[in-house]
Structure 1
Amino acid sequence: MSIERDMPYAAPNAGSPAYSGVLSRRVLAFLVDYLIIAILWVPAAVVLFFVGIATLGLAFLLYPALYFIVAVCYFGMTMGGPAQASPGMRTMGLKVVRTDGLRMDFLTAAVHLALFWLFNSVLTPLVLLVGIFTDRKRLLHDFLIGAVVVREETI
């Protein structure tokens, strides 16, 4: 693999216009993404129904976790993919950039999502307060995986 593919660009410095309006755009991107995940959950439930019949009911045990499985696959493949953003983030003109300059991969995107769910379940709605007081509008789960969310048109 070439260096250009592995290291697309470094995160912009604090105070850059790349962070202007990021928090409000992230909230809107969240709503768009979870609407898409809810739509994707329906065909996944139908497929799981038929797989459950074929496995004599064994696959039915996955139903309680199906929404989370769909969400992890969705974010892992989109944020960890070439665009480095979910469709909701792309709609809002956002992109995820790792602070070490490497590309976001499937596992890192899945961990980012899991940490988001964890902190959101404990700190809702206070989870967004961290972004108000940080220079690059980073949230707690962004700090832990070493990522920033930036406006795509500014990079």
Structure 2
Amino acid sequence: MKLHFPARTGDAAWEGEAPDALEHPELYDGLALRRSLAWFLDMIVLFFLGVTLWGVVGLLTVASFFALTPLTVPLGILMAAFLPLLYHSYFIGKTGASPAMALFDLEVRSWNGSPASMAQGFLHSAIFFATVMPSTWLILVVAFLNTRRRCLHDFLAGTVVVRASRLRSYQA
């Protein structure tokens, strides 16, 4: 199977299903650790973004002499609830990886090799956040039960995570 790394134009990096981990192990090398570290770093970034947004909401509340409290408190709660979803959806749909995922050389691709769409980025993120807390992280065990290291939300969103630099090394 020949692979190539296209610009984010919609071209597929491979034809058909994702490359087999036995034929191309370099694409999946170290994914579990890299994904975990990237998630942790993204959560640190989101924490600081959330603190900043809560600070702005707090300032608006105080500046209005608490008259805006009925609006700012629900707004702050909505921002805290949806900030991680919006953050991951945007970056996965726009660039194929959140900033931390890019730092750890990861990229989310559609199962057929094309760049993940904005809808897939949203679905990938929404399924992750909807399932990871109620399952007490057990859904992530799925990654250790398959050779491509796909988590449950990867299966349900039709995505696969690969090492971006290794994908670029293939020639058409």
TM-score (norm 2): 0.77
| Alignment partner, residue 9 of structure 1 | 13
Cα-to-partner distance string for 1:55-89 (whole Å, 9 max, x where unaligned):
8332321222322322122112211113x101111
Counterpart of 1:65 (choices 78, 81, 85) is 78
Structure 1: tracts of 5 or more residues without a match: none
Q: Could you say if the C-alpha distance between residues 4 and 23 of structure 1 is closer, same or farther in structure 2, counting changes exceeding 3 Å?
A: closer
Structure possessing the higher radius of gyration over alpha carbons: 2
How many equivalent residue pairs? 152
Q: Is the CA contact (8 Å cut-off) linking 1:37 and 1:71 kept in structure 2? A: yes
Shift of 1:51: 5.3
**Identical columns (%):** 29
Shift of 1:4: 6.9
CA distance in structure 1 between the aligned counterparts of 2:55 and 2:161, rounded to whole angstroms: 34
Q: Is the CA contact (8 Å cut-off) linking 2:127 and 2:153 kept in structure 1? A: yes
| Alignment partner, residue 34 of structure 1 | 43
Cα-to-partner distance string for 1:79-115 (whole Å, 9 max, x where unaligned):
1113x10111112111101113332233321221121
Q: Is the CA contact (8 Å cut-off) linking 1:19 and 1:137 kept in structure 2? A: yes
Q: Is the CA contact (8 Å cut-off) linking 1:76 and 1:105 kept in structure 2? A: no
| Alignment partner, residue 170 of structure 2 | none
Structure 2: tracts of 5 or more residues without a match: 1-6, 168-172
CA distance in structure 2 between the aligned counterparts of 1:87 and 1:68, rounded to whole angstroms: 20
TM-score (norm 1): 0.85
Higher helix share: 1
CA distance in structure 2 between the aligned counterparts of 1:61 and 1:4, rounded to whole angstroms: 37
CA RMSD of aligned residues (A): 2.3
The residue type paired with residue 96 of structure 1 is: V
